[in-house]
Homo-oligomer: A and B are copies of this chain.
Amino acid sequence: MLQREFTEEQQMFRDAYRKFLAAEIVPHMEDWREAGIVDRSAFRKAGEQGFLMVWPDEQYGGMGDPDFRFEQIIIEETAYARAGDWYNSLHSRLVGPYLTRFGSQEQCQRLLPKCVSGEHVLAIAMTEPDAGSDLAGMRSTAVERDDHWLLNGSKTYISNGINADVVIVAAKTDPDNNPHHMTLFIVERGMAGFERGRNLKKMGLKAQDTAELFFNDVQVPKANVLGEPGKGFIYLMQGLAEERLIGAVGYLSAAQLSWDLTAEFVKERKAFGKPVAAYQNTQFKLAELRTELDIAQCFVDQCVRAFNAGELTAVDAAKAKLVTSELQVKVADAGVQMHGGAGYMDEYAISRQFTDARISPIYAGTSEVMKIIISRDCLGGDYNPFNTRNF
């Protein structure tokens, strides 16, 4: 496998974070899966030890180091520790940056410190019962009133939906019904008319609370409008490259774990007098997957580098998202098969790896949506022939 590049500081950070996970998170995961929700203390403990949100400026309690590799380490270790359904990165790196990217300084000062400390849990609510891939199809609306906006509508499949204290909610705000005219609102726990629905039962990601949210005449103060009214759709698009990179890093790490779990299993497990790893079918399948993993890892690592250099395009991020999410399913699926009956049992990690994996090609933009993005780019007029196109 090609050498990966992390600084010494980052290696130390990795070790420290791994120890934190082993001590504070991993021992509780099974209980939280049973409960269908992570205990809020998880966020606070991570916050206390400086592992929740590392990117914000020191004034907000972060490390202020913009190198994405710190986040990459967090995501990799979390996934590799089988704590992926804690969903800390949604809080810290996917939703958090909305505040600094589009929010006012007042909003940052008011909200960010508590996000960094883990007192506040974050969520983002775009999807609705009738609008997922096609956000422009959403029906939630907000109408401007004196000092507030009146928000109405319902959202579904919202991660951290039960735990969240602060939810960024997208709603349509054009009196003329332009479907792309949206605004992002910061809705806070306790606002009148903001109700939570069921914590939805789902195939995997058992410790993550995925919920319905309802907004009935919620009066969102103008101070809680994120950025400029009407620009919500554009804002949502702006974060996509980063969000998909976060996703890709996580999916791939989960796939790496599935491969490692399986390799270990087949070396131990015997059938017909030999380890299952001694059969050529096992060897070839694992070699194919090992190859795909290494190649995907190389690509993701280069995407991280490009991202750090400010050069990662939304299209390349879509490629990373597409490939890693499909690979995560593929490796977990092969892993289940090679585990035999054990692969179907909760007590073997691979079983949950499989059911957890299945959502990756669906959320944060389905594989089909990724293909739409990619084909639009490469079949568009601007695409150059191979030997001229990328330098």
A residues near B, CB below 8 A? 1-6, 11, 14, 18, 76-77, 80, 127, 130, 132-134, 137, 156-157, 200-204, 253, 256-257, 259-260, 263, 266-267, 270-273, 277, 279-281, 283-284, 286-288, 290-292, 294-296, 298-299, 302-303, 306, 311, 316, 319, 322-323, 329, 333, 336-337, 340-341, 343-347, 351, 354-355, 358-359, 361-363, 366-368, 370-372, 374-375, 378-379, 383, 385-387, 389-391
Min CB distance A78 to B, Å, is 11
**A363 touching B341, Cβ below 8 Å:** yes
CA distance A347 to B156 in the complex (A): 13
Given A271-B132, A379-B263, A390-B2, does the pair A337, B367 have CB atoms closer than 8 Å?
yes
- Other-chain contact of A316, B2, B345, B374 (Cβ < 8 Å): B2
Shortest beta-carbon distance, A54 to chain B, in Å? 18
A276 → chain B closest CB, angstroms: 9
- Contacting residues, chain B, for A303 (C-beta < 8 A): 2
State whether A260 touches B386 (Cβ < 8 A).
Answer: yes
Complex Cα gap A130–B272 (Å): 11
A279 touches B277 (CB 8 A): no
How far apart sit A336 and B363, CA to CA, in the bound complex (Å)? 12
Give every chain B residue within 8 A of A283 (Cβ-Cβ): 371-372, 375, 379
Give which listed residue, B14, B287, B359, contacts A371 with CB less than 8 A. B287
CA distance in complex: A271, B132 (Å): 8
Bound-state Cα–Cα, A311 to B2, Å: 9
23 A-B residue pairings within 8 Å (CB atoms): A1-B390, A4-B391, A5-B391, A14-B387, A18-B387, A80-B386, A201-B345, A201-B347, A202-B344, A203-B345, A203-B354, A263-B379, A281-B281, A281-B371, A283-B375, A287-B374, A290-B319, A290-B378, A295-B296, A336-B358, A337-B361, A341-B359, A355-B355
Docked CA distance A157–B340 (Å):
11
Are the CB atoms of B344 and A306 closer together than 8 Å? no
B287 touches A375 (CB 8 A): yes
Query: Given known contacts A4-B390, A157-B345, what 17 new A-B pairs fall within 8 Å (CB)?
Result: A1-B316, A2-B303, A2-B390, A4-B391, A76-B386, A80-B385, A201-B345, A253-B387, A260-B385, A263-B378, A281-B368, A286-B379, A288-B322, A295-B323, A298-B299, A344-B358, A354-B358
Chain B min CB distance to A366 (Å): 6
Give Cα A356 to B240, complex, Å.
34
Taking a contact as CB atoms under 8 Å apart, the answer to whether B361 and A270 are in contact is: no
Contact status A341-B127, CB under 8 Å = yes
CA distance A141 to B253 in the complex (A): 44
Residues on the B chain within 8 Å of A333, using CB: 329, 358
Q: Looking at the complex, which one of B259, B281, B362, B386 makes contact with A340 (CB distance below 8 Å)?
A: B362
Taken together as a complex, chains A and B put the C-alpha atoms of A287 and B372 apart, in Å, by: 8
Task: Kindly provide the distance from the CB of A264 to the nearest chain B CB, expressed in whole angstroms.
Answer: 9
Q: Which B residues touch A322, using CB under 8 A?
A: 288, 291
Q: Which residues of B contact A383 (CB under 8 A)?
A: 263
